[in-house]
């Protein structure tokens, strides 16, 4: 085909013309500029160089965890009260106050360990991150679908992720590495019992629960606080897959859950979740057999009933995957007035980690991107410049002097907002600076209760998965995992031992791990092993 026939193809049918980023019309998008038809090419060919060099930079680093995911938009609608009791009794956060009040949301569902193009049918926790664009600025609730986590101290996060990620030499995900770490991490048992049951492979994103997992606080108008945990319940119901189901889905598509969400929203089937909150008085609750700030534990529902506070509907999908799914950035530090942190040692570490990675991954001005902006609040800062600075927030249409980019000033510029009704009212804290485990670890009880609550087919699947994976592990890892399982629930330990062809009394000689504290019930079970 000649140059003339390709050049200008499509002209005259009303479609807009292509330009480069400088606004210059592109008359020929098929041929570089060369000396003669057979080259050589010239170096001043701006249009070609711009095209190629932009392409060379199309990727930003994928998320170090939760790389594969899908974003959707919608709204959160508040219920305003529990029966006769207004929510304002417990939190002054504006988005929860009146019945029917709507707040825009962006949600990103994800898997954790695989890369950007990995399978969505993998056994993996699912991320459930919600950005509420409130009038007081953004609130991010960054949770998962399983309600608990592997560890309770943020300092262990890089290790647990390294163990779950592929081997650094062969790049193969290996049960031997995963269970090596887990066997030395008794607090992981509750998460493992969930993850290796069918709940570890949700059927898709519409049919899974979400949980805030970490403990947060609610703050009322007088500054009084309660501890809270958040739960998202899908109106669509919960559906999970066995290994076999997942293998079939995966044989067909690596991205079935993203596809399912796009197609459901396009059909007008807008998925919906109810948000429920569990609440406790804000102290350490010595009467409980677990610590309320421990994210490896759930709060018993009979003692702390989950109470509905609103519903969320997803009704729109992104127009651009990169701008809205790759660049969207959530963080546990992103809270609004009326919501607060607790001293949960995971939460503090997470709160540093999210914005730190986003400044690296997306860039220091990631909050200027449309998907991350506090679009329903007015943003006015004295932050300036940096890579890809897009504008000066607070400048235009404000009466203040944009030349005063500091505070305080008598000349102009921004001033501090009037204080909230009360000052900072945190608890008084005394204690030694230390490195210690929390006292009430109780690592097995809830894991065992979870096992007993499962349906028969779920237990069968769990036992099969553990047996299959542990058979691929080093003998020492296998024995230690069996020891933990026997402490979790005798039936679980005995069934996995049988599957592995191991006599359970062979693991009875194992001592508790260094520093491990056992409950009386654990000791009793251990004595029975011998
Ligand atoms: C994503 C760190 C624990 C849920 C991430 C990212 C990092 C991270 C660095 C990537 C963020 C990005 O590139 O934008 C940590 C650390 C943790 C921790 C240090 C523990 C100390 C958890 C827990 C949960 C969780 C317990 C669940 C409750 C998520 C979710 C995302 C995520 C949902 C994906 C957010 C998105 O869709 O963009 N985490 N994480 N993480 N994390 Fe965590």
pLDDT digits (tens, 9 = 90+) for 111-138: 999 999 999 999 999 999 999 999 999 9
By most ligand atoms within 8 Å of CB, the mutation choice from 195, 318, 354 for ligand 1 is 354
| Ligand 1 atom at minimal distance to the Cα of residue 361 | 13
Residue minimizing CA distance to atom 17 of ligand 1: 350
CA of 350 to the centre of ligand 1 (A): 7
Position 8 scores a pLDDT of 45
Cis ω for the linkage preceding 408 (within 30 of 0): yes
Residue minimizing CA distance to atom 26 of ligand 1: 149
By most ligand atoms within 8 Å of CB, the mutation choice from 65, 109, 230 for ligand 1 is 65
Q: Residues with Cβ within 6 A of ligand 1?
A: 63-66, 69, 108, 110, 127, 129, 142-144, 149, 154, 157, 213, 295, 328-330, 346, 349-350, 353-354, 357-358, 361
Position 69 scores a pLDDT of 98
Which comes out higher in pLDDT, residue 58 or 361? 361
Spatial CA neighbour of 392 closest among 369, 384, 43: 384
Q: 3-state DSSP call for residue 198?
A: helix
pLDDT one-digit tens code per residue, 160-202? 999 999 999 999 999 999 999 999 999 999 999 999 999 999 9
Which sequence positions are flagged as catalytic?
Answer: 66, 144
Give the mean pLDDT of the chain: 93
Which comes out higher in pLDDT, residue 8 or 335? 335
Mean pLDDT across the stretch 220-248? 96
Q: DSSP assignment of 464-479, as one string? A: HHHHHHHTTS-HHHHH
Distance CA 398, CA 322 (A): 32
Q: 3-state DSSP call for residue 255?
A: coil
pLDDT at 421 over 60: no
Q: Taken in order 468, 473, 475, 476, is the CA torsion positive or negative?
A: negative
pLDDT one-digit tens code per residue, 443-468? 999 999 999 999 999 999 999 999 99
CA of 351 to the centre of ligand 1 (A): 9
Residue minimizing CA distance to atom 4 of ligand 1: 143
Position 413 scores a pLDDT of 87
Residue minimizing CA distance to atom 37 of ligand 1: 108
Spatial CA neighbour of 137 closest among 435, 336, 316, 292: 336
| Ligand 1 atom at minimal distance to the Cα of residue 213 | 28
Q: DSSP assignment of 120-166, as one string? A: TTSSS-EEEEEEEEETTEEEEEEEESSSS-S-SSGGGHHHHHHHHSP
CA of 178 to the centre of ligand 1 (A): 19
Main-chain dihedrals φ then ψ at residue 499, nearest 5 degrees? -60, -35
Residue minimizing CA distance to atom 14 of ligand 1: 329
Q: 3-state DSSP call for residue 64?
A: coil
Q: Which of 70-79, 279-288, 389-398 has the lowest mean pLDDT?
A: 389-398
Position 6 scores a pLDDT of 42
Predicted ipTM of the assembly: 0.97
Mean pLDDT across the stretch 317-329? 97
Return the bridge partners of 428, or none.
none
Q: What's this model's pTM, rounded to 2 decimal places?
A: 0.94
Query: What Rg value do the Cα atoms of the chain yield, rounded?
Result: 27
| Ligand 1 atom at minimal distance to the Cα of residue 63 | 13
Position 526 scores a pLDDT of 87
């Amino acid at each position: 085909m000649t140059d003339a026939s390709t050049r200008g193809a499509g002209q005259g049918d009303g479609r807009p013309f292509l330009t480069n980023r400088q606004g210059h019309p592109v008359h020929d998008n098929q041929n570089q500029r060369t000396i003669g038809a057979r080259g050589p090419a010239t170096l001043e060919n701006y249009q070609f160089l711009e095209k190629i060099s932009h392409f060379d930079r199309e990727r930003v680093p994928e998320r170090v965890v939760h790389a594969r995911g899908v974003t959707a938009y919608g709204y959160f609608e508040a219920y305003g009260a529990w029966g006769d009791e207004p929510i304002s009794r417990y939190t002054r956060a504006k988005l929860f106050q009146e019945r029917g009040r709507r707040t825009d949301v962006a949600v990103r569902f994800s898997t954790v360990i695989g890369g950007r193009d990995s399978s969505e049918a993998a056994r993996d926790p699912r991320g459930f991150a919600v950005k509420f664009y409130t009038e007081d600025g953004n609130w991010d609730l960054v949770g998962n679908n399983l309600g608990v986590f592997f560890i309770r101290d943020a300092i262990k996060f890089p290790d647990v992720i390294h163990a779950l990620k592929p081997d650094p030499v062969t790049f193969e995900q290996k049960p031997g590495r995963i269970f090596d770490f887990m066997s030395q991490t008794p607090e992981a048992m509750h998460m493992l019992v969930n993850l290796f049951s069918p709940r570890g492979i949700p059927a898709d994103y519409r049919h899974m629960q979400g949980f805030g997992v970490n403990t947060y606080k609610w703050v009322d108008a007088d500054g009084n606080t309660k501890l809270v945990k958040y739960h998202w319940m899908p109106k669509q119901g919960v559906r999970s897959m066995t290994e076999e189901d997942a293998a079939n889905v995966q044989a067909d598509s690596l991205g079935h859950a993203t596809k399912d969400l796009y197609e459901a929203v396009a059909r007008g089937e807008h998925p919906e979740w109810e948000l429920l909150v569990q609440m406790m008085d804000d102290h350490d609750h010595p009467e409980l057999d677990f610590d309320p700030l421990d994210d490896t534990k759930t709060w018993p529902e009979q003692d702390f009933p989950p109470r509905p506070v609103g519903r969320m509907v997803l009704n729109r999908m992104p127009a651009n995957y990169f701008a809205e799914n790759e660049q969207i950035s959530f963080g546990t530090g992103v809270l609004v007035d009326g919501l607060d942190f607790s001293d949960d040692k995971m939460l503090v570490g997470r709160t540093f980690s999210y914005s730190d990675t986003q400044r690296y991954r997306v860039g220091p001005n990631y909050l200027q991107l449309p998907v991350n902006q506090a679009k329903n609040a007015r943003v006015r800062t004295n932050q300036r410049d940096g890579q890809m600075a897009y504008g000066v927030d607070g400048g235009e249409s404000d009466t203040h002097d944009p030349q005063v980019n500091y505070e305080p000033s008598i000349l102009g510029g921004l001033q501090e907002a009037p204080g909230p009704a009360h000052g900072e009212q945190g608890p008084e804290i005394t204690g030694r600076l230390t490195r210690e485990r929390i006292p009430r670890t109780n690592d097995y009880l809830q894991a065992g209760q979870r096992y007993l609550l499962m349906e028969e087919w779920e237990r069968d699947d769990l036992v099969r998965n553990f047996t299959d994976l542990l058979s691929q592990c080093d003998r020492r890892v296998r024995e230690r995992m069996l020891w933990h399982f026997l402490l979790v629930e005798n039936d679980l330990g005995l069934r996995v031992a049988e599957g592995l062809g191991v006599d359970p009394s062979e693991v009875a000689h194992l001592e508790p791990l260094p520093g491990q504290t056992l409950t009386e019930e654990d000791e009793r079970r251990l004595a029975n092993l011998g």
